Amino acid sequence: MPKFREGRSGFLKIKMFNGHRVLPFDQTKCRNSEQCTATFVAGDSRVNLFLGLTTFHLLFTREHNRLVTRLQRLNPHWTGDRLFQEARKIVGAQIQAICFREYLPKILGSAFATTVGTYRGYNPTVDSTIANEFTSGAFRFGHGMIQEFYPRIADNNRTMPGFNFVEGTLHSDKLIFNGGTDPILRGFMQTPLKRPQRLTPSITEQMFGSTDLGTINIQRGRDHGLPPYVKFRQLCGLSNPRSFDDLGREILSTNAREALRRTYTAPDKIDFYVGAVLEDPVVRGLIGPTLACVVGPQFARTRDGDRFYFENPGIFTRAQLAEIRRSSLARIICDNGDRISQVPREAFRLGPMVSCAEIPQMDLSKWKE
């Protein structure tokens, strides 16, 4: 913990560099924009993997410190340990609220109600262990949402030079010397998402030089002994296809089915990752029925088998819980960008930008003792 925490205070380490509040890194290795190998230090080494990921690590680190500052004013008698743990608890709850209230409903669409459903409290009989098919296959659908190009937008809504995915990979220096987090966040908020059914060439031909992430996902599934795609279809209540044309209800594209026919000798040979990702999305969702059948129940178990889940009675007071429910990703962007003044009402939706003053915010006075 000393690696990330500012002494015995409640704050996480943040440094000023080139006019930006950034995560700690060895500044002696970053003399200027031409000679900079910035490697940020965070709780997850993948913080440096991609500029978008770096941005969100930094965003929630700033949110933690913002909460510590506010809680310190409300409760000057609290120790550094108490401030650290209370802020950590709130940030964890905010992430859970964003995940289950904002993110998953958009991924799962009409399947959310049946695969995740309403929270009914902690269930000690639920095994929340991450399932092999989830981590080794299903949740890799996100690789298909990686874009080829990411725009950056300045605070006057002027387009700046953007970056392709390869340029944004393992290049944290581009955040330090190209305007910080704000242009990246504005670009995210004004860029339509990419559906996950097809992988972009950046990750099939150029990832880390010449790595094919799709191939890695297929091989990972085989290494982990995942059953074929048709087995999961059956487990999820779908038909057992005898021919590739029998996949037509879930994989509408004749070209996709023809590619499967050329690649596999029979439907029961299709790798789980390949078949599941190719399915057209459920109503109002982004993934197909087989993926939804694996992804949704995993998140339900993760929630229901966690006695520290933020909505479990006793974790927060009723008044505090009401404030957590007012939090949102849009609000966190408003509070922790450098000069973000406008966001969509829902951060995961394209829509008209509104003033941050219109986005609800938590009343932290509910934590005053």
Q: How far apart are CA 356 and CA 333, in angstroms?
A: 9
Q: What is the rounded distance in angstroms from the CA atom of residue 300 to the CA atom of residue 30? A: 44
Average pLDDT over residues 328-356: 96
pLDDT score, position 150: 95
Decide: residue 7, CB within 10 A, 0-12 exposed, 13-18 middle, 19+ buried.
exposed
160 vs 93: CA distance, rounded Å:
34
Average pLDDT rounded to a whole number, residues 231-255: 97
Give the pLDDT band of residue 2 (cuts 50, 70, 90).
Answer: confident
What are 299's two structure tokens? 């998140």
pLDDT, mean of residues 171-196: 93
Q: Determine the pLDDT at residue 35.
A: 85
Q: Is 143 annotated as a binding residue?
A: yes
Q: Which pLDDT score, from 0 to 100, does residue 171 have?
A: 87
83 Cβ partners below 8 Å, 6+ apart? 9, 10, 68, 71, 72, 75
Q: How far is CA 326 from CA 51, 292, 330, 342, in A?
A: 28, 27, 11, 18
Residue 113 is predicted with a pLDDT of: 98
How many angstroms separate the CA atoms of 73 and 363, rounded? 13
pLDDT of residue 106: 98
User: What does the longest C-alpha to C-alpha distance in the chain come to?
Assistant: 70
User: What is residue 356's three-state secondary structure?
Assistant: helix
Q: What's the pLDDT tens digit per position in 264-314?
A: 999 999 999 999 999 999 999 999 999 999 999 999 999 999 999 999 999
Q: What is the mean pLDDT of residues 245-251?
A: 97
pLDDT of residue 3: 86
Q: What are 231's two structure tokens?
A: 């087995």
Residue 139 has pLDDT above 90, yes or no: yes
**What are the phi and psi torsion angles at 27 (to 5°)?**
-70, -15
What is the chain's mean pLDDT, rounded? 95
Q: Are 172 and 51 a contacting pair, CB within 8 Å?
A: yes
The pLDDT > 90 percentage for the chain reads 87
The Cα–Cα gap between 1 and 188 comes to 31
